Amino acid sequence: MIGPNAILQLLPQIERIGGEARVAQMLAEAGVFEVPDGLHMIPEGDAARLHQVLRRDEPVLAPELAAEAGRGTAEYILAHRIPRPAQWLLKALPAPLAARSLARAISKHAWTFAGSGRFVARGPWRFEIADNPIVHGEHSESPLCQWHAAVFEHLYRVLVHPNVTCREVSCCAMSPNSSCQFELTLARS
């Protein structure tokens, strides 16, 4: 199971490029016949298939659409899942301490975005998802997990420091024996 935002935040992005008919077509191609209500976890396969259909049908636009969906997911988390006092505290801490605290919180709730994948925080600035269900079975020359990277980046930008960037440096889709690895960096202004 995975959080419903893996689908819900992608739908407005698909609609933006092709309207409601395109959304309905892609959902059908992905075998998703009921839009999640947002209240319950969903089968990770539904989310994975929709992301895969997007990458297959819109290879040029898919990275940015997935990243926008990731930012939308992070905004949802900020609005509904991280209490305001905790957000205030993280923003007040020095970036290294805030990053450490946020990484711990992300680790505790990884099941909501990693599904059956195995999430590990390799310190406050590096994350890993082994067997990432969103890209399971895919093959690519470059990383495919823009949705995950955008979620991490946006949360860190809002709660740790506005100059944080996140990039996926390795992806399960690039090598069957690898994991999806995300590196966060703080650019000094």
Which parts of the chain are beta strand (E)? 118-121, 126-130, 164-170, 180-186
Two tokens at 150? 């955008």
Q: In angstroms, how far is the first alpha carbon of the chain from the final one?
A: 40
- Bridge partners for 168 per DSSP: 182
Other Cβ atoms closer than 10 A to 98: 19
Cβ-based burial of 34 (10 A; exposed 0-12, middle 13-18, buried ≥19): exposed
Distances (CA, A) of 184 to 64, 98, 177: 18, 13, 22
CA dihedral 45, 47, 50, 53 (to 10 degrees): -60
For 151-178, the pLDDT digits (tens) are 999 999 999 999 999 999 999 999 878 8
Count of residues in the chain: 189
The CATH number of domain 5-186, selected from 1.10.3720.10, 3.40.190.10, 3.90.1520.10, 3.90.550.10:
3.90.1520.10
Q: What is the mean pLDDT of residues 116-140?
A: 93
pLDDT for 118 equals 94
Other Cβ atoms closer than 10 A to 162: 10
Domain boundaries, the chain: 5-186
> Which of 146, 125, 180 is closest to 51 using CA atoms?
146
Question: What is the SS3 assignment for 82?
Answer: coil
Q: What is the mean pLDDT of residues 14-31?
A: 95
- Bridge partners for 181 per DSSP: 128, 170
- Rounded CA-CA distance 112/114 in Å is 6
- Rounded CA-CA distance 169/182 in Å is 6
Q: What is the mean pLDDT of residues 108-135?
A: 93
Residue 189 confidence class, pLDDT cut points 50, 70, 90: low
Two tokens at 36? 């999640």
Nearest-Å Rg of the Cα atoms of the chain is 16
pTM: 0.94
